[in-house]
Amino acid sequence: MSIESTNPATGDVVDSFEETSDEERDEHIVRATETFAEWSETPIEARQRLLARAAEVLRENADEYAELMAEEMGKPIGQARDEVEKCAWVCDYYAETAAEHLQDEVMASTERARTVVAYQPIGPVLAIMPWNFPFWQVFRFAAPNLAAGNVGLLKHASNVPGCARAIEDVFEQAGFPEGAFTSLLIGSSEIGAVIEDDRVRAVTITGSDGAGRSVAETAGSQLKKSVLELGGSDPFVVLEDAPMDETVETAVQARLINNGQSCIAAKRFVVVEDVYDEFVDRFVDEMAAQTVGDPMDDETDIGPQAREDLMEDLHEQVEETVEQGGELELGGEPMDRDGAFYPPTVLTDVPENAPADQEELFGPVATVFRVPDEDAAIEKANDTRFGLGASVWTEDLERGERVARQFESGLAFVNELVKSDPRVPFGGVKDSGYGRELSRHGIREFVNTKTIWVQQDAGEETDMVE
């Protein structure tokens, strides 16, 4: 059976690929298991050198990979080039820091013992990845895990099979052994069988909270470690002393990056009464000024939604919100042109429990809420089942940090949009999942944190025996 990738801007077929058969899937898992035995014993310095080479491969082929992303899921070409560079950055980061992050830790115990904590790889890890950042979200998993000595099995989204194959090829070109990173072109119905396979030791997913619950249930039944990076409905809090020029400019970027299809995009703009009217007026004007068009054009700010059905779902959420009493300030209708294009859209006066209040809107739709003061802003920011990122805008940095500490989120930014960075941990709370990616925290998610106690006086009695 073949899998086709379709250009969402034109409806044309980009390419077709043969689906991985059950027999091939088993062969890939066998190979990954065999490679792990070798790879886990490879000195970490050698693994780091190969990661550095992967960064070079990415940069050498940046235009090719960027065009592939634009064709398969509609990402504006400039943002796609930036994504390739970010993937190279995360490879560089772990090429430089992995050994430091995983070095043995000496722990205090008794005078006559040497006690250390060692961080050892655990085996093949399955990564279930989405289409919206088709390179970055794979590399932020792959770079730390390959550096740690694990091997990766990728189940990528079905609409970006070309990206999946290209990523596999990056590691092959960089010199990684066969089986260190393998793409499985399989359907969602086969994920459970891979997780349940005894040779697969852990699983990570970036996706919807529904998919995360299903994966976590299967992994939990097998007593396997899982990391869930799920959806978000991030608040963007504007206080009365916010630097308005910078705030509005960043608000537009934070809502529309990646055609609005980002889990950490600002989606709920919570604005205090004193500056609400000014913010809405300026925000609507700036949203309206964005260029919607061909993602292959460098002048385009917003390309198509990744699939027609996704655009239809988004529009249904907007329509239902308006029917319940929400006000449409801008946009709100699919564009009259070929392709899955939805315009920048702004909703205000959204009633409680409307879709734009309670659900994640995965597209270029912003919801603006009016609140009386800072306390109400914090309350509204936290009034969501999600808890991925949040930001607050104020001239008073001490105030901003105080507010940031009150957000129920895994990420909190003051006077900056929410973003992922290899140097700091990334992840959420509540229905946004659990576990962390990136930084020292991310590379230690899928390792055996092993206590090694070396008693130097065999005759000494221990204080306590469990």
Contacts of 65 (CB under 8 A, 6+ apart): 58, 80, 84, 135, 163, 166
Contact between 255 and 265 (Cβ < 8 Å): yes
User: Cα-atom radius of gyration of the chain, to the nearest Å?
Assistant: 23
From the list 168, 263, 374, 445, the catalytic residue is: 263
What is the three-class DSSP state of 61? coil
DSSP line for 365-405: EEEEEEESSHHHHHHHHT-SSEESEEEEE-S-HHHHHHHHT
Please report which residue ranges of 184-243 form alpha helices under DSSP H. 191-196, 209-221
For the chain, the residue count is 466
Contact between 393 and 243 (Cβ < 8 Å): yes
Only one residue has tokens 């077929």, namely: 13
Sign of the Cα pseudo-torsion (362, 368, 374, 379, in order): negative
Contacts of 461 (CB under 8 A, 6+ apart): none
Contact between 335 and 341 (Cβ < 8 Å): yes
Only one residue has tokens 């090719």, namely: 64
Only one residue has tokens 């398969």, namely: 72
From the list 72, 229, 408, 437, the catalytic residue is: 229
What is the three-class DSSP state of 96? helix
d(CA 367, CA 362): 12
DSSP-derived letter for residue 257 is G
Contact between 146 and 123 (Cβ < 8 Å): no
Exposure class string for 68-102: b at 16+ Cβ within 10 A, else e? bbbbbbbbbbbbbbbbbebbbbbbbbbbebbeebb
Q: CA 311, 315, 319 angle in degrees (round to 5)?
A: 175
Measured torsion, CA atoms of residues 399, 260, 214, 147, in degrees rounded to the nearest 10: -80
Measured torsion, CA atoms of residues 317, 322, 328, 330, in degrees rounded to the nearest 10: 30
Catalytic residue flag (residue 263): yes
How many other CB atoms sit within 10 Å of the CB of residue 177? 17
By annotation, the residues acting in catalysis are: 229, 263
